[in-house]
Structure 1
Amino acid sequence: MKVLMLVAELEDYTIAFVNGVAQHLPVVLGVPKRRYAHLESWFDPAVDLRLLDWPRHRSPANPIFLLKLSQLIRQEAPTLIHLLSNSTLWLNFAAPFWRPIPLVTTVHDVELHPGDADSRTLPRWATELMVRQSGHIVVHGESLRKMVLQRYAKPVDHVHVLSHPSIQRYADFARQRQLTRPQGDDAFRVLLFGRIFAYKGLEHLIRAEAALGETVPNLRITIAGRGDDPWAFRGLMGHPDRYDIRNHFIEDAEVAQLFTDTDIVVLPYTEASQSGVLNLAAAFGKPVVVTDVGELRASVTQNGLGLVVPPGDPQQLAHAIKLLAHGADLRAELGASALAWANGPNAPKAVGAAAASLYRKVVDPCAPS
């Protein structure tokens, strides 16, 4: 059995997922050269990586690319094709020509996140058409499975749940570079990381900081990622000098240092499906504070990763931050659980085994589970 995977973005997720699957099955991965060439060393040698001249959405070169891609598929003759997201417009026009090869597509977000400017650049019909053309759908949680079943006319046994694997490459980077927290740094560091869009709940974190007052006197909050300008909420900040704002794309070395330095990671989202940041924090053994949206509660409570608070409630968020700031033993317990989860049941190899089992079932429904 051989699986061919295609994806145009989602670099960290792709590395974790594909490396995991490659421990169990032969994998050919096609990705854009412009986005993945500098990441080649992070792929397991078992992955047959193809860096493609993959055009952008608006490029007139897309028809020629689809022709070459379809030729590649015929040459490789995979047993199954897995699209690791449904957010590539032009693949909709090529998918009908790949039949009868089974097509599986991962849907990360059934609904668009509020304020997510990146996702809104793609027409809604394009993401939905790919779901409808795919024989089987993968999602990263039971609530997302229910949403897909309600939205699309898919048989119940054709929508599957696979865990979002832990993102380990930054923790590996930190170990390779022997990164440590600076000596003498006695601050209690809180990190909000990733694309800063409306649904990430930045305003609620800032209100929570103001509500904390002087109860955590050594509090420092780092907001790192491109997107909306956090300083737009300066007027809500209790102590602006507590903030370290990095409103830009964060390179690998900086990501690794940020997660090495922080005490906890906060995800005060007002809406979510699942979160790569959660899986990144776990690989560093960092406790999290998340809101009860999407799959966050299920992931955190079932695996002892951190604390859960209601969305849009700065007071409860402040209470959780204070609890962890003054609870070193609790932080250590949650951090140990997070690391065990990231390196055990949610490690890429473990998720890859579940994916390999799913692929076999798709290809041969009568095969034993």
Structure 2
Amino acid sequence: MKALLLVSDLEDYTISFASGVAQHMQVVLGVPRRRYGHLASYVDPAVDLHLLDWPRHRSLYNPWFLYQLTRLIRHEQPTIIHLLSNNTLWLNFAAPFWRPIPLLTTIHDVELHPGDVETRVLPTWATELMVRQSRHVVVHGEGLKRIALGQYSKSPDCVHVLSHPAIHRYAELARRQKMARRREDGTFRVLLFGRIFAYKGLEYLVRAEAMLKDALPNLRITVAGRGDDPGVFQPLMGDAGRYDIRNRFIEDAEVAQLFLDADIVVLPYTEASQSGVLNLAVAFGKPVIVTDVGELRSTVQSNGLGMVVPPRDVEELATAIRMLAESSALRTEFGTNAFAWATGPNSPEKVGAQAAAVYREVVRACA
């Protein structure tokens, strides 16, 4: 079998997923040169990587790109085509020309996150049309499967669950560059990382920090990533010196250093499907605190990765932070479990084996 994987973004996820699948079957990966060119060394050599001159959504060159892409597909003659995201408008117009090759699409977010302006760039009809053109789809959890079954009117046999694989490239970068954790005497550092939109729950982390000012005087909060202005919560911050705010794009080496330095990673989300940040944190063996939204509870609890609190519950969040700050044994236990999960059951190779099994099932169903 040969799988052709296509995606226009999601670099971290795609590198892990494609590299994992390539351990079990032939993989051709088509991605934009402008986004993946500098990351090629992180893609497993077993992947047949094609860096494409993939236009932006508004470009007039999209019809020509679709023609070239269709020629590539006919040349490669894949057994299956897997779109690793349904967020590329123009592929809707090319998909009918790829038949009868089975088409599979991954839906990362069955429902849009509140305040996520980047995902909302595409019209809803475009993301839904790609799903409807794909007889089979992939989601990242059983709860998401139940939602997808209702939203897209798919047969249960046509909605497949695959875990979001652990993201190892930043930990690998840290090893390549021989990076080390920066020791800060007595400091307990909490990291909130990623695109900072309303649903990420920064407000509740800020309120929890205020509750801990006397109990944890050594607490430091790092907030790193593009998105909404964290400054709107400044009136709630008791001591600005307890915060490290980096409201910008974070370069790869800086990402690695942030996770090396963190004692715990907090995901106080008010809504979520699953989380790439969680899968990045576990590769560093970091314990996490997550809220009970989307697939986060089932992932964290069943694998012993950290603690789960109700969304928007400031007191419970503060209690969890304090508990981990005061118990190095608990942090070690969760961190050990996290790294074991990232390198074992949720490693790219193991998820890739599951994906290869799904591909074989889809091909049989479409024969």
TM-score (norm 2): 0.99
Residue by residue over 1:144-188, the C-alpha shift from the partner in whole angstroms, topping out at 9 and shown as x without a partner, is: 000110111211100000000000011111122221122444310
Where in structure 2 are the equivalents of 1:1-369 lying within 5 Å? 1-365=1-365
Equivalent AA in structure 2 for residue 196 of structure 1? I
CA apart distance, 1:213: 2.1
CA distance in 1, matches of 2:186, 2:218: 7
**Could you tell me how far 1:59 is from its partner in structure 2?**
0.6
Write the distance in 1 (CA, Å) between the matches of 2:212 and 2:69.
Answer: 55
Structure 1 contact 166–280 (Cα < 8 Å) conserved: yes
Instruction: Give the superposition deviation at 1:240.
Output: 1.4
SS in 2 for 1:364: helix
The answer on whether the counterparts of 2:102 and 2:366 sit within 8 Å (CA) in structure 1 is: no
Q: Give the AA of the match of 2:186.
A: D
Output the aligned Cα RMSD: 1.1
Q: CA deviation at 1:230?
A: 0.8
Offset at residue 321 of structure 1 (A)? 0.2
Q: SS of the residue aligned with 1:189?
A: strand
Q: AA paired with 2:33?
A: K
Q: In 1, distance between residues paired with 2:184 and 2:99?
A: 61
Identity between Structure 1 and Structure 2 (%): 70
- Give the distance between the partners of 1:352 and 1:120, measured in 2 at CA: 29
**How far, CA to CA, are the matches of 1:347 and 1:12 in structure 2?**
13
Structure 2 residue identity aligned to 1:207: R
2: CA distance between counterparts of 1:52 and 1:87? Answer: 17
Measure the CA separation in 2 of the matches of 1:186 and 1:76: 57
- How far does residue 366 in structure 1 lie from its aligned partner after superposition? 10
Which amino acid in structure 1 is aligned with residue 175 of structure 2? R
Q: Is the 8 A contact 2:304 2:334 kept in 1?
A: yes
SS of alignment partner, residue 286 of structure 1: coil
| Deviation of the 1:234 alpha carbon | 0.4
2:47 is aligned with what amino acid?
V
What residue identity is the alignment partner of 1:102? P
Give the Cα–Cα distance (whole angstroms) in 2 for the partners of residues 43 and 181 of structure 1: 26
Deviations 1:206-251 (A, max 9, x none): 0010111210111000000011111110001122110000011111
Q: Deviations over 1:36-81 (max 9, x none)?
A: 1010110010000000010000111101110110111001100000
Report the secondary structure of 1:317's partner residue: helix
Aligned to 2:279, the other structure's residue is in SS state helix
| TM-score, length basis structure 1 | 0.98
Q: 2 CA distance for matches of 1:91 and 1:184?
A: 49
The gaps in structure 1 that reach 5 residues or longer are none
CA contact (8 A) 2:183 2:261 kept: no
Runs of 4+ in 1 over 3 A off after TM superposition: none
How many residues are treated as equivalent by the alignment? 367
Distance (whole Å) between structure 2 residues aligned to residue 14 and residue 203 of structure 1: 31
Alpha-carbon separation, structure 1, partners of 2:51 and 2:353: 25
Gap regions ≥5 residues in structure 2: none
Q: Is the 8 A contact 1:170 1:256 kept in 2?
A: yes
Q: Is the 8 A contact 2:344 2:350 kept in 1?
A: yes
